[in-house]
Amino acid sequence: MRIGVLTGGGDCPGLNAVIRAVVRKGSEVYGHEFVGFRDGWKGPLEGITLELGVPQVRGILPRGGTILGSSRTNPLKVEGGVEKIQTNLKRVGVDALIAIGGEDTLGVATQLAALGINVVGVPKTIDNDLGATDYTFGFDTAVQIAVDAIDRLHTTAESHHRALIVEVMGRHAGWIALHSGLAGGANVILIPERPFDIDAVCAYVKQRFARQFAPIIVVAEGAQPAEGSLALQEAELDAFGHVRLGGIGYVLEREIQARTGFESRQTVLGHVQRGGTPTAYDRVLATRFGLHAIDAVHEGDSGVMVALRGTDIVRVQLSEATKELKTVPLERYAEAEVFFG
């Protein structure tokens, strides 16, 4: 078989580990050939390929990013996009595709599978918000990067008696904020699933200073103030219709300082959370996903995604995978609230 591989959407640590596992097992155990598609769905859409074999995947296990490149190209928004993909796959002689991506990339894969294209999905996102899998690789690395930053911010916050706000990624899910806030000993964690009351946040800040400590506030980029309490700016949309988030850290810095009188500073971790070498956990999860994805393709399965359930890797329908966003349950957030203030 000749198998195409692509990585789409925001990159995340562990993508190369998947590619390596797919190619190593696919070539060495099953004798398949591979072709890389460059920059997500843009590759098959425009017929842009890369050589992909065992030599190309040597040494990439610990490397962040993706050797295939990525983009947020949505072929379903391009006139005749699906037909172009079908033509290019035929031209390149691809029998099946492995699409490694999040909600958007796998959403496209779902539609292509329904049209008869052989596709197997691999879930990735630092946001950990895909409903069908317990965890996605990239999340553990992003959380570790945020925790390292929070550990450092504690000491400078104490020295200057400042409130430090750390804005983390996660889009509409608060997983990175919750896990990094818990692991980093944050004094307030704000997530999109639970609109916040700015007065309550300020009360926690004052309480923390009253105890002779300086507060760390971890805020997810998608966190929202409770209705009517604070006005936020409108954000722009990407090709999949997602708002480009960011800026809530600045709003909190300004409001906390104005309302409590304590000096405040924000740190936006941004794309640092997506860069660099994956943690051991993410390397193992990504590798296992890759091994199971190539098994699925080899067995002629299509329209499925590999997923983690407990400690097992299972196959789920692609349509199932993208149906629901996995957000933080409020009872999980309540566990963290014990440490606020």
User: What is the set of active-site residues?
Assistant: 127
Q: Which is nearer to ligand F6P, 8 or 10 (CB)?
A: 10
x-or-dash pattern for ligand F6P, window 163-182, by CB under 6 A?
------xxx-----------
Distance CA 145, CA 40 (A): 25
Indicate the length of the chain as a whole number.
341
Q: How far is the CB of 246 from ligand F6P (least distance, A)?
A: 8
Unique residue bearing structure tokens 């199932």: 320
Unique residue bearing structure tokens 């190369």: 16
Considering the rule CB under 6 A, would residue 107 count as an interface residue with ligand F6P?
no
Q: How far is the CB of 176 from ligand F6P (least distance, A)?
A: 7
Burial class (CB in 10 A: 0-12, 13-18, 19+), 91: exposed
State both tokens at 12: 């995340």
Distance CA 304, CA 293 (A): 9
- Count CB-CB contacts under 10 A for residue 64: 19
Residue of closest CB approach to ligand F6P: 169
Considering the rule CB under 6 A, would residue 322 count as an interface residue with ligand F6P?
no
Rg of the chain taking only CA atoms, in angstroms? 21
Q: How far is the CB of 135 from ligand F6P (least distance, A)?
A: 15
Q: Which is nearer to ligand F6P, 112 or 248 (CB)?
A: 248
Distance CA 139, CA 282 (A): 8
Considering the rule CB under 6 A, would residue 239 count as an interface residue with ligand F6P?
no
Binders of ligand F6P among residues 256 to 285 (CB under 6 A) are 274
Among the residue ranges 35-43, 57-65, 116-124, 125-133, the one whose residues contact ligand F6P (CB under 6 A): 125-133
Q: How far is the CB of 314 from ligand F6P (least distance, A)?
A: 23
Q: How far is the CB of 102 from ligand F6P (least distance, A)?
A: 6
- Count CB-CB contacts under 10 A for residue 310: 7
Among the residue ranges 24-32, 119-127, 199-207, 317-325, the one whose residues contact ligand F6P (CB under 6 A): 119-127
Give the total of residues touching ligand F6P (CB under 6 A).
12
Distance CA 84, CA 188 (A): 49
Contact, 157 vs 214, CB < 8 A? yes
State both tokens at 267: 């740190």
Considering the rule CB under 6 A, would residue 39 count as an interface residue with ligand F6P?
no
- Residues engaged in binding ligand F6P (CB under 6 A): 10, 72, 102, 125-127, 169-171, 221, 245, 274
